[in-house]
Structure 1
Amino acid sequence: MEFRHLRYFLVLAEELHFGRAARRLAISQPPLSLNIQQLEASVGARLFDRDSRGVRLTAAGRAFRESATALLAQAEAARVLAREIEAGAVGRLRVGFVGSMLYRGLPQTLREFQAAYPGIHVALTELNSQEQIDALLHDELDAAFIHTGRVPDTLQATLVHSEPFVCCLPADHPLAALAELPLTSLRGEPFVLFSRKASPDYYSRIFDMCAAQGFFPQIRHEVRHWLSVVSLVSQGMGVAVVPAALERSGMAGAAFRPLADAAVRSEVYCAWKTAPDHPARDHFVAMVAGKPAQRKRSHQEKATGPGTDGL
């Protein structure tokens, strides 16, 4: 039994006339008769009565008509779905993100993406950079926003956001009265920082920034989330060096000041797995990157690129 047989059957079931049915199908009458015979042989039942009075559906034919209509409808739905998936218009997209992306335009990007592709269901998961890389490698995420451009060879990464680091202080701290701070002004201050285990690259980056200015930060508290850093600072538990986007967190009790001598920037990359094919993911990457995501980072770029791996 072929879908062609079902289409021919349904047209004949509507017309109940071989000549008219053949004209609708744009074929001659003998092929139509042959296909109906093949269908009846495949089903194992007579679907039409044919005599001098015309063509009529049998009881088996009437029952078969309902099933044939449903089968063709399902086939058409499957065809449309396949074409929409191929075009990236429907499907499921699993996106990982570091917490700072909530203040770096991720909500707005998701709204724009959903408006452009309403048939794609986006599921978000907050993880640190290394956890997202592992999830990409194990096909548990389709795209990820991470703080490092150093990724395994099976992944691609493109820079989507870059901004300066700033100082986060308790609002009543004497240094908060300054419009801009030298990093050396934080010498001797208790620091709030990500734990070395959760974010080794970010931890090292802050140490390197301070070491370049001739001192090492005195780590008082280690946490795993950006908002935890800002929250502890707002409660007078120390100072921190954070991406400028965190100022938009609106945390009461925290003050943010530019760093006068910090050339290092906080960067976010969008990463994804090279295979398998995923049109919806490709549309998403193109939107966040502002261009088609086709270029793979070279080994040299991976070796020399910044690696502020954090939460």
Structure 2
Amino acid sequence: MEFRHLRYFLALAEELHFGRAAQRLAISQPPLSVAIQQLEASVGARLFDRDSKGVRLTPAGLAFRASAQGLIDRAEDACALARDVQSGEVGRLRLGFVGSTLFNGLSAWLQAFQASHPRVEVVVVELNSQDQIDALLGEELDLGLVHTDRLPPALASQPLYSEPFLACLPAGHPLAVLEEIPLAGLSDQPFILFSRKGSPDYHARIVEICRQHGFYPRLQHEGRHWLSVVSLVAQGLGVSIVPAAFLRAGVQGAVFRPLVEALETSAVFAAWRKDSAGVLRENFLAVRPTR
């Protein structure tokens, strides 16, 4: 039995006339007759009565008609689903993100994507940059939003945006009264930094910024997430240098001040496996709101 047999059967069941059914199917009448005979042989039952009065469905044909239509409908649904998956209209996107993106429009981005792609399931998980890199390599994520473009050869990336670094101080700190903080003013302060293990590149960059301005940070505590760093600062346990996004985090007890020196910026990159399917990823990146 072939799907064309089912289509031929349904056309004849509706028209009840070989000539009209053949015309509707854009074939000649003899191939239609042969196809119906082949279908009846395959089913093992006579589906049509044919006599001088015309063509009629047999009881077996009537019973077969609903099931045949269901098979055709399911086949068409399967084809439509395959096309939608290929075009990225249906699927599942596993997205990793660093905490700073929550304060740089990630929620609006997710809402815009879900509005334009309602049949795509987006699973989001907050991970530091190194954990995202590991998850991408392990095929546990489809796309990561990370703070580094220093990636293993198997991964690709594109820049999304950058923002300045700010000094982060406890609210009662003597330097908090200044409008701008000189980096040298932090040289003798206990520092709270992002974990070296969680993001080796980011940790090294901040240490290098300090080194270039005459000192090494006196590391007191480390946090695996930037929000943990800011929270530790808010509790008076030290100072830090953090991306400007956390100015919008609303952590009570922490204040943020621009740095006097012009520093390199904090950047966020999209990262993915080079050998992964790209339609869902490209669709997601395409709807990112402008900042």
Q: TM-score range by the shorter chain?
A: over 0.9
- Structure 1 residues 268 and 210: alpha-carbon distance in aligned structure 2, compared to 1, 3 A threshold: same
CA–CA distance in structure 2, aligned partners of residues 250 and 287 of structure 1: 27
TM-score, normalisation: structure 1: 0.88
More divergent stretch after superposition (205-214 vs 240-249):
205-214
Match of 2:230 in 1: 230
CA contact (8 A) 1:159 1:289 kept: no
CA–CA distance in structure 1, aligned partners of residues 198 and 271 of structure 2: 19
- Please state how far the C-alpha of 1:105 moved relative to its aligned partner: 1.6
Match of 1:293 in 2: none
Match of 1:122 in 2: 122
- Please state how far the C-alpha of 1:53 moved relative to its aligned partner: 3.2
Does residue 214 in structure 1 map to residue 214 in structure 2?
A: yes
Residue type at the aligned position of 2:260: A
TM-score, normalisation: structure 2: 0.94
CA–CA distance in structure 1, aligned partners of residues 201 and 280 of structure 2: 31
Match of 2:186 in 1: 186
Q: 1:137-170 CA distances to partner (integer Å, 9 max, x unpaired)?
A: 2221111101110122222101111111110111
CA–CA distance in structure 1, aligned partners of residues 134 and 64 of structure 2: 51
CA–CA distance in structure 2, aligned partners of residues 87 and 114 of structure 1: 15
Match of 2:261 in 1: 261
Match of 1:135 in 2: 135
Q: 1:118-153 CA distances to partner (integer Å, 9 max, x unpaired)?
A: 222211011111221122222211111011101222
Residue type at the aligned position of 2:16: L
CA–CA distance in structure 2, aligned partners of residues 197 and 232 of structure 1: 18
Residue type at the aligned position of 2:133: I
What aligned pairs does 1:4-43 form with structure 2 within 5 A after superposition? Answer: 4-43=4-43
CA–CA distance in structure 1, aligned partners of residues 182 and 276 of structure 2: 48
CA contact (8 A) 1:167 1:257 kept: yes
CA contact (8 A) 1:160 1:288 kept: no
CA–CA distance in structure 2, aligned partners of residues 115 and 198 of structure 1: 33
Residue type at the aligned position of 1:71: L
Residue type at the aligned position of 2:137: L
CA–CA distance in structure 2, aligned partners of residues 199 and 153 of structure 1: 18
Q: 1:23-76 CA distances to partner (integer Å, 9 max, x unpaired)?
A: 222322212111111111222222112223332222322222121111110111
Does residue 197 in structure 1 map to residue 181 in structure 2?
A: no
CA–CA distance in structure 1, aligned partners of residues 5 and 111 of structure 2: 46
CA contact (8 A) 2:170 2:239 kept: yes
CA–CA distance in structure 1, aligned partners of residues 89 and 196 of structure 2: 41
Match of 1:305 in 2: none
Q: 1:253-289 CA distances to partner (integer Å, 9 max, x unpaired)?
A: 1110001114121111101122233312122233449
CA–CA distance in structure 1, aligned partners of residues 97 and 31 of structure 2: 59
CA–CA distance in structure 1, aligned partners of residues 58 and 269 of structure 2: 65
Match of 1:239 in 2: 239
Residue type at the aligned position of 1:190: P
CA–CA distance in structure 2, aligned partners of residues 39 and 217 of structure 1: 82
Residue type at the aligned position of 1:109: W
CA contact (8 A) 1:165 1:262 kept: no
CA–CA distance in structure 2, aligned partners of residues 48 and 278 of structure 1: 50
Does residue 162 in structure 1 map to residue 138 in structure 2?
A: no
- Please state how far the C-alpha of 1:178 moved relative to its aligned partner: 0.5
CA contact (8 A) 1:209 1:262 kept: no
Q: 1:199-230 CA distances to partner (integer Å, 9 max, x unpaired)?
A: 22222222111111221211111111111111
Match of 2:173 in 1: 173
Residue 191 of structure 2 aligns to a residue whose secondary structure is strand
Residue type at the aligned position of 1:117: H
CA contact (8 A) 2:109 2:289 kept: no
CA–CA distance in structure 2, aligned partners of residues 154 and 208 of structure 1: 27
Aligned residues: 290
> How high is the sequence identity, in percent, across the aligned residues?
61
Match of 1:274 in 2: 274
Match of 2:252 in 1: 252
CA–CA distance in structure 2, aligned partners of residues 138 and 3 of structure 1: 41
Q: 1:80-120 CA distances to partner (integer Å, 9 max, x unpaired)?
A: 11222222222111111111110122111112222222222
CA contact (8 A) 1:93 1:280 kept: yes
